[in-house]
Chain A
């Protein structure tokens, strides 16, 4: 009996020790990123600074999102675009233009275009939750980025209908922040690079609050996105994410 108990304890202990040291798979790291960034609802004001050559344009917006981005409403508040609203429902997008008082559905080719002239495409904003479904995720190395030890993940497309044929991500080993992401074309050319510039702790959650997207097809073309006044898990009514509300 004593022997059996000793074996059981040994087994449990070895399982525990193995679990502690077990190397996570790529998919598990992706899940950790999702868990860290998970929210029921989010509300923030944002600033998008678009750099093209020497020109700088700034867009300001208020955003509310629910169900981890499955539903999002964005309203621009800078003078040039004041009142322009975006409604994202899963992978569908509508834009309301106040001057024409008209709602336009954005689909197909248009989703690949830069959002409000920025380097973030509409699709970049819509596809976040589908990465692990469409890519084979492998840990292909380890690296240190700005003093943060990172896993280097390589994502290869499993299917052909993906926005980028392959991606490379540098994920913080401790906090599961994707500090850097490179997006590649089918030919292997680097198209875009995303860098997280600043993170902030909200309770248990560590959230990126400033990031940049660099367009590698143009020289000096990047967009910096900053989040302010962030509030998580507040009550947002469902009818806020409807076409009727968009036209209000």
Chain B
């Protein structure tokens, strides 16, 4: 066995061009697989991150009555003593931020036209500990000014024809369902990775909303942010654990994790992963055919050599083993090159990402697919790619070498 592996290694080294070409086919196939896997995982992670950091937070708390009528964003079901709930949650493990929010439906008017909007009343100080909207704001964040300040989604601002510093009228119903409308100065626009926010959402502070919506300290939801420990799985476990604890502590409240809130979206992600796996299989199948073809050709090129080896007394079994060893070596070299290639590209994807905005804005798909898409390390996929390359190279060498070994010595020697 030792001798055969040595001969095989010598053969591999002797035919450098053939070895390199065969290994290259394996490397390119596996490299593409590793890269695609990284991009698709990155896309899923970006979607979930966007969801948590821009809309759902890790855990959302409302009253049960509010949850039953949440589509109309009613202002009549406030959380009783929200400050107690907030201070209790803040003390829990892995909680990185807690903030109140009150959502409402309204209309923006530029005295020419009106547009329906989803209003978010935010606590200027604590909102940034849970949501990541601030980094997407062009212009300013809320100040201590006594003036009514508003931040609009960028597409919404464009639609209404207003710029930063302009005034716009916001119309909404107060907590008592009385109509109110007032002028607000646009201090910033939101250009997030979520097209829904950009085209529908407006932000105002509790200081302004208390008067405008007659809120009287009404808080309809509490949002919780949690630390991302290790990976997505551990994060969801932590979120589930805290949500369960809060459900027991506050049975009168509706406590929902982002997995529950975005179940529809996560189902789409799962389906996408399924179609992604099919795409991966196709890539691997193409790589396998390439590897198979390359190794097969190298065996066929050497049938006369097999004849010589057989004439010198080498047994059929030993011939097969010799070629299997060569397959293993080529597979190892190719897989190694593939992993180097895939990881090399992945380092760039993870650090710099792909600026999707250069390819246009896919806002019509309704889920965030623009901004910069970063790759994701997936050790399992890299190990799988390495083993897959090895197995395919092995299988590709076995079949022709078995056939070649079966040939009569004279026929093998005359093989053209």
Contacts and interface: CB of A to CB of B under 8 A. Distances in A.
Interface of A: 108-110, 112, 157, 159-165, 183, 185-187, 189, 191, 217-219
Contacts of B72: 108-110
A162 B178 contact: yes
A110 B72 CA distance: 9
Given A189-B169, A219-B111, A160 B174 contact: yes
A217 B111 CA distance: 5
A214 B385 CA distance: 69
A112 B214 contact: no
B206 interface: no
Given A109-B173, A164-B178, 17 more contacts: A108-B69, A112-B173, A112-B179, A159-B176, A160-B175, A163-B179, A164-B179, A165-B178, A187-B180, A191-B171, A191-B179, A191-B181, A217-B111, A218-B109, A218-B112, A218-B113, A218-B114
Q: What 7 A-B pairs have minimum CB-CB distances, sorted nearest first?
A: A160-B176, A187-B182, A217-B109, A186-B180, A161-B176, A185-B181, A185-B180
Interface in B101-115: 105, 107, 109, 111-114
Given A217-B114, A217-B169, A219-B112, A185 B179 contact: yes
A218 B181 CA distance: 12
B357 interface: no
Nearest to B214: A160
Contacts of A160: 174-176, 178, 214
Contacts of B171: 185, 191, 217
Interface centre among A112, A159, A189 (most CB of B within 10 A): A189
Name the residue among A110, A162, A187, A191 with the largest chain B CB count within 10 angstroms.
Answer: A187
B212 interface: yes
Interface bin, chain B: 20 to 34
A185 B113 contact: no
Interface in B61-115: 69, 72, 74, 105, 107, 109, 111-114
B182 A185 contact: yes
B177 interface: yes
B212 A187 contact: yes
B149 to A, nearest CB: 15
Interface of B: 69, 72, 74, 105, 107, 109, 111-114, 169, 171, 173-183, 212, 214
Given A187-B212, A217-B107, A217-B169, A161 B178 contact: yes
B263 to A, nearest CB: 25
Contacts of A110: 72
A185 B181 CA distance: 6
Contacts of A187: 180-182, 212
Nearest to B107: A217
Contacts of B178: 157, 160-165, 186
Nearest to A112: B173
A241 B212 CA distance: 39
Contacts of B174: 160, 186
Nearest to A110: B72
A163 B105 CA distance: 16
Most chain A Cβ neighbours within 10 Å, of B112, B175, B183, B212: B112
Contacts of A162: 176, 178
B70 to A, nearest CB: 12
A119 to B, nearest CB: 11
B181 A217 contact: yes
Contacts of B114: 217-218
A206 to B, nearest CB: 30
Contacts of A189: 169, 181-183
Q: Which residue of A162, A183, A186, A191 has the most chain B CB atoms within 10 A of its CB atom?
A: A186
Contacts of A108: 69, 72, 74, 177
Contacts of B212: 186-187
Contact of B105 (A109, A161, A186, A218): A109
A185 B178 CA distance: 8
A189 B171 CA distance: 10
A15 B107 CA distance: 55
Nearest to A220: B112
Nearest to A164: B179
B180 A165 contact: yes
B113 to A, nearest CB: 6
B182 A161 contact: no
A219 B69 CA distance: 33
A219 B113 CA distance: 7
Most chain A C-beta atoms within 10 Å of own C-beta, residue among B69, B72, B112, B178: B178
